[in-house]
Structure 1
Amino acid sequence: MSRLADRETRFSEYEIRLCQRVSRKLGHSAEQVEALVTDLDGRHARLFAELRAGGTRLDLESLVREIDELASMRVLGLPTELLARIQGGAERTNLEILIREVDRQIAVQALCLPVELFDDCPSDLIDAWCTHGAACTPDELLAMPRAVRLTLLAALCAVRRRETADMLVAVLIGLVHQLHARIEARFEQSLPQDPWLERERHALLPKLLGAALDRPDEPVRSVLYPLVSEKTMRELVKDAATREAMHVRRKRAVLRSTYSSPYQQVLALLLTALEFRCTDPACWPVMAALGELVDDCMVCWGKGRYYDAGQSLPVDGVVPESWRPAVFDAEGRIERVPYGLCVLLSLRDMLSRRRVHIAGAGRWGRPPETREPEPVGATPTYHGLRPVRGDVIDWPSGADE
């Protein structure tokens, strides 16, 4: 009891008042938070043990290598259990660590802590409460006043959620950046070429351009055909069309093979564990497209290889110009997998520029307000038919309610 009494004396009158305020803010979430120490054998007890232990360091380079190995096993048609047996003597893999961190993050989000819970508390004090709560056993916490107990547990959850969210965003951005770099490198690899046609093209192009510029008003037959036969020109045109078709097919194959199923699953897992927010109307189309990448229950634009015709998918600012031939087919339909990668690239850029932030995160959390406050009684700005008053648009919708 002396240990508990010593800990209770550490709380100043100011902290006690803050704890009482925090416990009142918890509202209906208080029962969920308190279950971390009262539910001794259930999922809340396991979550409390994980929160006390803290996060595990994850190496991005090793994670990429593990995903590549998993993709190779699937391409070869080998059972993925073989990879686990090959690595039987290894420590816990980074992929396992990532899955565990995602599961813990989702469990903490399910506690539904209010967003503004610690808005009026100093950050150093919140970290101290987290450290204090992690050092206590369930019995020690139960012996404390309820307001203090709830505050320590809520701080432990909030800090762990912040740490994990920052780590998951870093992994998300790192994986998308890795995929983008690979795709661009493969795009730059030259296609096989016919040596004769290549020499002819380089030799004839200056002659044809010079003749056209010198005699612009004369017929093509009298200006160009004396330099190049009609047959040769048709062969060059046919070769150019063939090469363009090959280039498009190759780009599409590169996108599909690079953004493989294992990467799609890992990135969807990360998106599921993060709560995206934005106040920039220009980001809303990308936010809407995120639902297509996560779960079938959120898909509203069809489930086939191509998106249903007539869907108003955002393209400008999402699909790079150089990628569009690989994203659109000959009929103008948008292929789902390449488009999903384009959405992730746009999301990466928006996160990096702080146009999109993550609820509950630290480094990637909501940036400080820099806009001038609107005058009292000012008419709100309208974009299209929707009024915008600086409210936060959240995804998934209503996650904090």
Structure 2
Amino acid sequence: MDRSELVELLSPVGLRLLDSLPPYDAHGNVVARVSELRKAGHAPGLVAAVLGQSKLRAKAGPKFGDFATRMLFTEAGLEQATRLRVAALHAGRFQAAGLTRVADLGCGIGGDAMAMAALDLEVTAVDADEVTATVASYNLAPFPSASVLHAQAEDVDLAGFDAAWLDPARRTAGHSNTSRLTHSSDYSPSLDFVFGLSERMPIGVKLGPGHDRDQIPAEAEAQWVSVEGQLVEMALWFGVLARPGIRRSALLLTRDGADELTADADSVDAPVGGLGDYLYEPNGAVIRARLIGDLARTLGAEMLSEGLAYLSAPTLTPTPFATAFRVLESLPVDEKKLRLALAERHIGTLEIKKRGVDVDPATLRTRLKLKGSESATLVLTRAAGHRVALLVERVR
């Protein structure tokens, strides 16, 4: 969405038209809908803008729930926006620390600022892009304690603020078809600015879950967050926003609630042991937080092979921090023998999981020429340094 489309959309006619549209149907006849709106006398630019927003609102549902039906988005802004459930946890940190006036530097479409304002925090949301800042203004309009500033994060006078939240832009500029920046030196604002600010006031910082761990300051609490099994962010917390005695955290959010594994540092890996009756695949947040060793010790498990994030144990211990598999049998590693073994078991549908081996599951699945009515899961990995092929079943 460019500036002209936004102007069209923010007119009284544009907003009324957007809100009058039925729920977006990805399989519907878009051409017919365009024709219908054009026949009603609406300009081509307005039609494109409202239909684009209708599509984005539907796409935003998983992140923003019912709020999405009353928000505006840019494509890039939605992609980078914090899920509202996670944003609420961010905001809760500020509230719990007694920090009531927060600068949201790099606010995007305003997701985190909305969560802060919902807790009656006084938040000033800042974005360097004019269109994005305008969209954030619309989204934050229902919240009296929120305001929006179109400015560079580095230029904001932070006198009078208790704390800051930063979500540095990690993609190229624009509102759609952006690409990920590969070097943190290209982030906006830069990490030098971000970490320098942490020396002046309490701050929280949202970064990608795969961010270089060597760049994590020693004084920061680093928390990796997984939502419904998807690793979504690493947040760094400084000052009173960092919890005493915690420097590493894996937070798992599911429909049933939240579970967290914490430590004061990276955990020491468990020793390598033999293959037991059960195999555990740790959640991505646990892996990135390097808490696999601590998890292993709670499960009475050992590493299947050095440096690989698979654990094995003789008995089953339920845990929210890993997916458990029952090991049914070891199959031949040789591809021809493996194909025969799967055929003997009438396996026609095969989930292939791999770690520590150079295999493309999709290509291998084709070469295995699977036929049969049974389904199974195959784990290709290493045990004590040697390649193994394990037929397993997921423990529900």
Name the structure where helix makes up a greater proportion of residues: 1
Q: Of the two structures, which has the highest relative contact order with CA contacts closer than 8 Å and spacing of 6 or more?
A: 1
Instruction: Determine which structure has more spread, i.e. the larger CA radius of gyration.
Output: 1
| Category of TM-score, reference length = shorter chain | under 0.3
Normalising to structure 1: TM-score of the pair?
A: 0.22
Normalising to structure 2: TM-score of the pair?
A: 0.22
